[in-house]
C-alpha cells in the first residue's frame, strides 16, 4: 500500500481505510452531525467503512 496522498491521522482502527494511525482513503468526507457544527465533537467522518473480515 502506498503512502496516503495527504496525511490524515486516524484513530478508528475498525475502518477499512485505517493503517498505522493514518487514513488511506482516496478522499475524505466530513459532515456535521447537526445542522451547524460548532466543535469537532459535532462532526462525523462519513468516509468510514467497516473493515471486511
Please, what is the Cα angle at 29 between 28 and 31, to 5 degrees? 150
pLDDT band at 1 (very low <50, low <70, confident <90, very high): low
Q: Which residues of 1-14 are buried (b: 16+ CB within 10 A; e: fewer)?
A: eeebeeeeebeeee
Check the CA dihedral 22-5-3-49 and report its sign: positive
**Counted domains in the chain:** 1
Residue 43: give the domain boundaries. Answer: 1-53
Contact between residue 10 and residue 22 where contact means Cβ atoms under 8 Å apart? yes
The SS3 of residue 16 is coil
pLDDT in tens, 2-53: 766 689 999 999 999 999 999 999 999 999 998 999 999 999 999 999 998 7
- pLDDT reported for residue 32: 97
Amino acid at each position: 500500500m502506498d503512502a496516503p496522498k495527504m496525511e490524515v491521522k486516524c484513530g478508528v482502527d475498525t475502518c477499512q481505510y485505517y493503517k498505522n494511525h493514518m487514513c488511506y482513503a482516496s478522499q475524505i468526507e466530513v459532515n456535521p452531525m447537526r445542522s451547524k457544527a460548532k466543535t469537532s465533537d459535532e462532526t462525523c467522518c462519513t468516509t468510514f467503512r467497516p473493515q471486511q473480515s
